[in-house]
């Protein structure tokens, strides 16, 4: 009976132990994310080198570099000294655009995309074009060269532009309509 009592006390002591957390079978170190970041950096560098190579082949064109990570040149630049306004948040712009490959092969020809009205930074538009419109003045035509991450990125446009494709967009800004609150304050 004494052995049974000792055995009972040992079982009681072992069963009162607090539960231990289970360890995962496998542990991920985050290396997949690190590898993805490195792949994207390499892809962006290759696209930028390709764009710079194409720009180098067009020595007659004066390319400008934007602070937002794309390049552009003026087809028609405003020479009107009174035309100094560029669109700001909330302004509605009216514009046309065409899209081609960086080499100039047409993807969406001029007139294929309808004239568009866009409220600056308040509607959906691909990143590069959204940033590029803010650099333009009424009546100007500008050609932008966008790396894929500034264009349609990984998903493309689900129609004619594939995954990770750098593009060239020729944009004509027809009008800038000030945000309604600005017009009433002036």
> Does residue 169 lie in a domain region?
yes
Res. 153 pLDDT band, cuts 50 70 90:
very high
> Does residue 26 lie in a domain region?
no
Mean pLDDT check: name the lowest of 82-86, 140-144, 165-169, 180-184: 180-184
* Domain count of the fold of the chain: 1
Q: How far apart are CA 40 and CA 63, in angstroms?
A: 25
Is this prediction's pTM over 0.85? no
> What pLDDT is recorded for position 62?
94
What domain range is 170 assigned to?
Answer: 61-185
Q: CATH number for the domain including 158?
A: 3.10.50.40
> Does residue 13 lie in a domain region?
no
> Does residue 124 lie in a domain region?
yes
CB atoms near residue 10 (< 10 Å): 10
54 token code pair = 């194409």
- Asked if pLDDT for residue 145 goes beyond 60, the answer is yes
Q: What mean pLDDT is reported for the chain? A: 87
Task: Give tens-digit pLDDT for 60-72.
Answer: 999 999 999 999 9
Average pLDDT of 110-130?
A: 92
> Does residue 7 lie in a domain region?
no
> What pLDDT is recorded for position 2?
76
Q: How far apart are CA 142 and CA 77, in angstroms?
A: 8
**CA 67 and chain centroid, separation:** 14
Distant-in-sequence, close-in-space partners of 116: CB < 8 Å, separation ≥ 6: 94, 95, 96, 97
Res. 21 pLDDT band, cuts 50 70 90:
confident
167 token code pair = 């593009």
Task: Give tens-digit pLDDT for 22-56.
Answer: 776 766 666 788 888 899 999 999 999 999 999 99
Cα angle value 120/121/122 (rounded, 5°) = 95
Q: How far apart are CA 87 and CA 97, in angstroms?
A: 17
């Amino acid at each position: 009976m004494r052995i049974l009592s000792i055995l009972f006390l040992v079982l009681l002591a072992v069963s009162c132990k607090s539960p231990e957390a289970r360890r995962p079978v496998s542990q991920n170190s985050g290396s997949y994310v690190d590898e993805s970041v490195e792949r994207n950096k390499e892809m962006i560098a290759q696209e930028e080198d390709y764009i710079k190579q194409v720009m180098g082949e067009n020595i007659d064109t004066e390319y400008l570099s934007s602070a937002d990570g794309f390049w552009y040149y003026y087809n028609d630049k405003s020479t009107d000294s009174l035309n100094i306004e560029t669109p700001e948040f909330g302004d509605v712009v009216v514009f046309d655009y065409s899209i081609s490959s960086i080499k100039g092969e047409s993807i969406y020809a001029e007139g294929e995309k309808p004239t568009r009205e866009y409220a600056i930074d308040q509607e959906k538009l691909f990143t590069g074009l959204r940033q590029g419109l803010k650099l333009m003045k009424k009546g100007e035509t500008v050609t932008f060269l966008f790396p894929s991450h500034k264009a349609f990125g990984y998903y493309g446009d689900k129609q004619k532009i594939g995954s990770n494709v750098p593009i060239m967009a020729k944009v004509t800004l027809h009008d800038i309509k000030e945000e309604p609150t600005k017009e009433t304050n002036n």
